[in-house]
Chain A
Amino acid sequence: MAKFSTNEFKGGLKVMLDGDPCSIIENEFVKPGKGQAFSRVKFRNLKTGRVIERTFKSGESIEGADVIETEMQYLYNDGEFWHFMVQDTFEQFSADATAVEDALKWIKDQDVCTVTLWNGTPLSVTPPNFVELVIVETDPGIRGDTSSGGGKPATLETGAVVRVPLFVQTGEQIKVDSRTGEYVSRVKG
């Protein structure tokens, strides 16, 4: 894998740090007046999700990481692996429980997700920004009951629990923002 020097560091670049694939969030040029120049870099560890900061001497280089993001369709899961397919090539990939952790409560069959591959293996799965899911269970929601802030919890077909307005009922399909977990609207038709 190619090496990248600090002057090539910019947001989104994928590099190896302490053995883990990381994405650069920010690269700050630090130079004390008349002193050695440094690069203070913020990384997101793509394996653990944690944010790390590290300083490099200006001009130092580190190894790039073989990380790419591809759109794939979710097919099914067999309890151990979650299977995805690249629609154009029909190539299939299996993601383990850790990789799908954050996406699990939002995805249903046929949803197109963004899969991050590291050395060809799924590292993490990001669901589409907006998902449309059916409510499998929620209270009828008596009109005028505003003691709970005008909303009620609803369990969706994937198991996710989302706060919804009182007028929404079991069996209805709703649109949810997977990034915030918030109800957006009912799905018409």
Chain B
Amino acid sequence: MALLRKRAAMFSAIRFFFAERGVLEIETPSLCNAVGTDPNLDFFDSRLRLPGSHVQNPMYLQTSPEFSMKRLLAAGSGSIYQICKAFRNGEVGRYHNPEFTILEWYRVGFSLYDLIDEIDVLLQQILGDSLSSKLTDHLSYTSVFSRFCGLDPIQADISAFVDCAVRNDFSEAIEICAGRRTLWQEFLFSHLVQPNLGMVGLTFVDRYPASQAALARLCPDNPQLVDRFEVFYQGVELANGFYELRDVEEQERRFDQELQQRKLERKFVPAKDDRFLSALKAGLPECVGVAVGLDRILMLATGVDSIEDVLPFSISRA
């Protein structure tokens, strides 16, 4: 019960935060016609039957509200936020529940660093004394990777990644990652870098490799990097944000690449989200956005061990 009260207090605090700043709260559908193309995400699907019809149309539970919210932004909504459920099949663990709560917001006209500051203020407010320190670190992906792995993730040869794995007793990575740089980056980051991030206070890591771009724009000063950042505390990822990609051709190219990857991995190949692409074509304003995992924030604020402890009914009891 105390947990339910803490959860409610967190939602209140968030709503007050955005009301003060004039950011509009909106709601977009959980059930959608189209879904993302990320090869590492597994969707929940369902069927829509219209009244009087026997035809069943496939619908999907959203893995994130991003596409719907960008359609609103393209339609002129201005800065918006949403607290909603996201659904990712196959993700269960200490920090994962297949159904989880995201706080996602977009700021039109903000720079990436304006948004980062705003996130810092909000998280400091919600987490308060749970943070060991109010000092926030701002580091680049390349610098943290170099520090903890001893190599430049963008420039180094695959052999350097292999050496790092062997040195750190992760020889199994050689077979898992083979010659794939992105997989090597993900493996070493999750095993060697991430556990060391945010040990004292919040840590923001920015300028991710272009191969891990998601929907972020390329860095204007370096096309090998993207304006994407993540927020960490005590080795746990709390948020993921970007300077949003507005170039519809680049976006479609990334979708095509991901669909190709899904095909290679014999995974289900969904149709691209045409409505989202149309919105991009119509024009997304210059904006930045972020998604925060509220369950994990609550875990930190209450000092519990597992995401199950912050959910009234986790997946095994739903």
Contacts and interface: CB of A to CB of B under 8 A. Distances in A.
Interface of A: 7, 28-38, 40, 53-58
A160 B315 CA distance: 50
Contact of B191 (A31, A34, A40): A40
A55 B214 contact: no
Interface size class of B (residues with CB under 8 A): 20 to 34
Contact of B190 (A7, A30, A57): A30
Given A32-B186, A37-B40, A55 B96 contact: no
Given A34-B212, A37-B40, A56-B172, A29 B91 contact: yes
A58 B267 CA distance: 14
A57 B173 CA distance: 9
Given A28-B93, A29-B91, A36 B172 contact: no
A36 B40 contact: yes
B96 A29 contact: yes
Contacts of A37: 40, 90-91
Interface of B: 38, 40-41, 90-96, 169-170, 172-173, 176, 183, 186-187, 189-191, 194, 212, 214, 230, 237, 240
Q: Please name the 8 residue pairs, one residue from A and one from B, whose CB atoms are nearest each other, closest first.
A: A29-B93, A35-B186, A32-B190, A33-B240, A32-B186, A57-B176, A33-B237, A30-B190
B94 A35 contact: no
A24 to B, nearest CB: 15
Nearest to A30: B190
B90 A58 contact: yes
Contact of B187 (A29, A38, A53): A38
Nearest to B93: A29
B40 A29 contact: no
Given A33-B230, A35-B40, A36-B186, A28 B94 contact: yes
Contacts of A54: 172
Contacts of A57: 176
A57 B170 CA distance: 13
B213 to A, nearest CB: 9
A29 B94 contact: yes
Contacts of B187: 36, 38, 55
Contacts of B212: 34-35
Contact of A32 (B90, B169, B176, B237): B237
Given A33-B237, A55-B173, A55-B176, A38 B190 contact: yes
A76 B215 CA distance: 70
A113 B172 CA distance: 37
Given A32-B189, A35-B186, 4 more contacts: A28-B94, A31-B93, A55-B170, A55-B187
A35 B173 CA distance: 15
